Amino acid sequence: MAGCVGTPPFKRMVDPMAGEAAPPPKLVHLMISGRVQGVSYRVWLQKEAQARGVSGWARNRSNGDVEAFLSGSPDAVQSLCEICRSGPPYARVDQILLGEANSSVLALMGPQGSFNILPTL
């Protein structure tokens, strides 16, 4: 998925258990359009993110879209971006707009490592 590849510059972190540098987290902003409200898309996304160790949040938008922010290892975020194209049963994803996320959205995330469902905006 071409739009889900860029990451902002981050310092490399060292994993004390592995003794080697861990890749910097990938931050991605998604706007998902189609029949994505009323089909448990946000709850499905939360479960899929938690299974991959991805942090972030998802919320419904008043225009019918679902907006999400993902933060995690590049491979985990890429995997999650790819399955967002199909979504949960009964969802129909027409379009996903992907972009690099601004670090200011981190404030909406809550505790590190969590994935939250936020109120509609």
Q: How do strand 55-60 and strand 115-117 relate by DSSP bridges?
A: parallel
| Active-site position among 35, 60, 92, 116 | 60
- Are residues 24 and 101 in contact, defined by beta-carbon separation less than 8 angstroms? no
| Active-site position among 42, 59, 63, 85 | 42
**Catalytic site includes residue 42:** yes
- Are residues 67 and 61 in contact, defined by beta-carbon separation less than 8 angstroms? yes
Integer Cα distance of 111 and 64 in angstroms: 27
Amino acid at 27: L
Integer Cα distance of 62 and 83 in angstroms: 23
**Catalytic site includes residue 60:** yes
Residues with a catalytic annotation lie at 42, 60
